[in-house]
Chains A and B, each alone.
Chain A
Amino acid sequence: MSVQSALLNEAAGPAGQHLNAQVLRADARREQLRLMVLLAPSLFLVCAIIIVPIGWLFWLSLFDESGALSAANYARFFEQASYIRTFVTTFKVAFIVTGACVLLGYPLAYMLSQLPRRAASICLIFVILPFWTSVLVRTYAWLVILQRKGLINSWLIDLGVISQPLSLANNFSGVVIGMTHILLPFLVLPLYASMKTIDTDCLRAGMNLGAGPAATFRQIFFPLSLPGLASGVVIVFVLCLGFFVTPALMGGGKVVMWAMRMEQTTSLYSNWGAGAALGVVLLVVTLALLGLFQWLLGARATGVWSSR
């Protein structure tokens, strides 16, 4: 017996090495187990609170009111005009807000990237502070500024520019202004971070070779800043699609966006199947956009969160 096993060991190579490998493997397994124990509570919570309920909603969306398997909840989106209106409104708001964020955010990020370190970090406070201020507070501020008897209207009337108050809040423009303000930092922060990594030697080389400031910017700086811009654009657009607070408070009930529609169908009408189907499509669109972005640029759009 012992002779046999000794012979076997002999055949497998030097006995010590064999045993050593086994111990090492067992050790690695134990290490994996320990790390999993550290992760387990967090993973459990995320799965229990986010993944399982969403999976459940997805399951629900596959059945109609009588409990039969059907695509009725999804077919509705193409048949009912009110759903189509919601999608059109949502995408319209998302495109306009993203565009406004690019127009306002690019010059700001560019300026921040060109300022001396101290000045830039002071200016950055003005970007980060709103980022960390409650969305509700900022929406309230815009309500105060834009409403009929609000600041803008009373100033314009006092100055004699207009005689009747403009309707700025409780409509489409209010939603767009409020959302642009709230989402602007999500574009500026990743864009600024990527602009900081542009090698100034490239710019200097361009100027050395005779390019003027405008040509240097257009041909060197701008193309190099595009990946950062793209990640900001994707994150802003995706956040727009699922935005709830600002349209709910500033839309005056006239601007119904995707997330509001979900809230209405589930809370008001308790139509879980329809609400769940809306959620599933929203999630799929969101993940598809983020996935497309990641595939095209090989970067994760969630990086914005670590930059704040």
Chain B
Amino acid sequence: MSADIGLPISHRQRLWLYGLGGLVLLFLIAPSVIIVIMSFSDSTLLQFPPRQWSLRWYQSYFQSLEWRDATIVSVKVAIMTVLMATPLGTAAAYAINRGTLRFNGTINALLTASLIIPVILIGIGTFFLYARIGLNNTLTGLVVAHTVQALPLVVLTVLSGLRSYDMNQERVARSLGAGRVAAFWQVTMPQIRFSIVSGALFAFITSFDEVVVSLFISGGETTTLTRRMFSALRDQIDPTIAAISTCLIALSVLLLSLAQIFGRRH
């Protein structure tokens, strides 16, 4: 885009750069594409491109009770995580945005701590705590742990929405007689709702894709999908996982597109 920025370099002179960049993009995207294609293969061998096509791996995914139960657990946990993390994160972002709090920096650091602290340490710590209060292998335990991991993403997303919103509007509403809650619901909320929805989507995918902490604190009847996949991958490479992976990729694409659409409207 030498034309756009007005540098005297032609696209032709940049071909090597485009070639190199294109290769790196290919490296990034190829594995997902290969898995999607292979999931429709008819063979137990991992051939690429597949010689025969079929949906047998999808059948084996949907017909297996174990995989189905694990999927249901993951969906339940993800939905409950969204329901917890979104309001909590939004409230926290609202408070931080005021900027009038003492210890604002410390609070910020605490809320985003789970992005910095190695996940393995969070996993072991949570397991250790849950072992004492009996929350291991429970849905509640999973939801609480995932909520903590999803919180920073909700806070950051909603904060970026609040930063481009003029808080004076809420003050005006209140000076005209609206209560605090009414002012937030009727004035602020409609204008930041797309950030809140994006935050909720990020919370969903964070919970649904979470592996390491679930590895420690889920099991038995509350085994999550990713946990079961992890154990399955340790043993052997079952092509059923290609079908599951394709479903997960489709979910990511769906949620990301939704987040994009909401982001644009915002």
A residues neighboring B (CB under 8 Å):
28, 31-32, 34-36, 38-39, 41-43, 45-54, 56-57, 104-105, 107-108, 110-112, 114-117, 119, 123, 126-130, 132-145, 147, 149-151, 154, 181, 184-185, 200, 203-204, 207, 213, 216, 238, 241-242, 244-245, 248-249, 259, 262-263, 266-267, 272, 275-276, 279, 282-283, 286-287, 290, 302, 305-306
11 contacts between A and B (CB under 8 A): A35-B100, A36-B95, A43-B92, A45-B147, A51-B113, A57-B121, A137-B248, A144-B237, A151-B46, A213-B7, A213-B13
Asked if B120 contacts A49 (CB within 8 A), the reply is no
- Chain B CB within 10 Å — which of A35, A51, A108 has the most? A35
Asked if A135 contacts B209 (CB within 8 A), the reply is yes
Among B14, B32, B101, the residue within 8 A (CB) of A35 is: B101
- Name which of B59-67, B150-158, B185-193 contacts chain A: B150-158
Q: Specify which chain A residues have a CB less than 8 angstroms from the CB of B205 in the assembled complex.
A: 132
What distance in Å separates the Cβ of B109 from its nearest Cβ neighbour in chain A? 9
Complex-state Cα separation, A260 to B215, whole angstroms: 12
Asked if A279 contacts B144 (CB within 8 A), the reply is no
Q: Specify which chain A residues have a CB less than 8 angstroms from the CB of B152 in the assembled complex.
A: 305
Asked if A136 contacts B226 (CB within 8 A), the reply is yes
Complex-state Cα separation, A131 to B136, whole angstroms: 29
Asked if B122 contacts A50 (CB within 8 A), the reply is yes
Complex-state Cα separation, A262 to B216, whole angstroms: 12
B241 within 8 A of A: yes
B residues neighboring A (CB under 8 Å):
1-2, 4-9, 13-14, 17-18, 20-21, 24-25, 27-29, 31-32, 34-35, 38, 45-48, 88-89, 91-92, 94-96, 98, 100-102, 107, 110-122, 124-129, 144-145, 147-148, 151-153, 155-157, 160, 180, 205, 208-209, 211-212, 215-216, 226, 229-230, 233-234, 237, 241-242, 245, 248-249, 252-253, 255-256
In terms of DSSP, what is the predominant structure of the interface of chain A?
Answer: helix
Q: Specify which chain A residues have a CB less than 8 angstroms from the CB of B7 in the assembled complex.
A: 200, 203-204, 207, 213, 216
What distance in Å separates the Cβ of A197 from its nearest Cβ neighbour in chain B? 13
Complex-state Cα separation, A119 to B14, whole angstroms: 15
Asked if A242 contacts B209 (CB within 8 A), the reply is no
What distance in Å separates the Cβ of B45 from its nearest Cβ neighbour in chain A? 7
What distance in Å separates the Cβ of A105 from its nearest Cβ neighbour in chain B? 7
Among A132, A138, A275, the residue within 8 A (CB) of B255 is: A132
Asked if A245 contacts B46 (CB within 8 A), the reply is no
Asked if A142 contacts B31 (CB within 8 A), the reply is yes
Asked if B29 contacts A126 (CB within 8 A), the reply is yes
Asked if B27 contacts A111 (CB within 8 A), the reply is no
Q: Specify which chain B residues have a CB less than 8 angstroms from the CB of A185 in the assembled complex.
A: 28
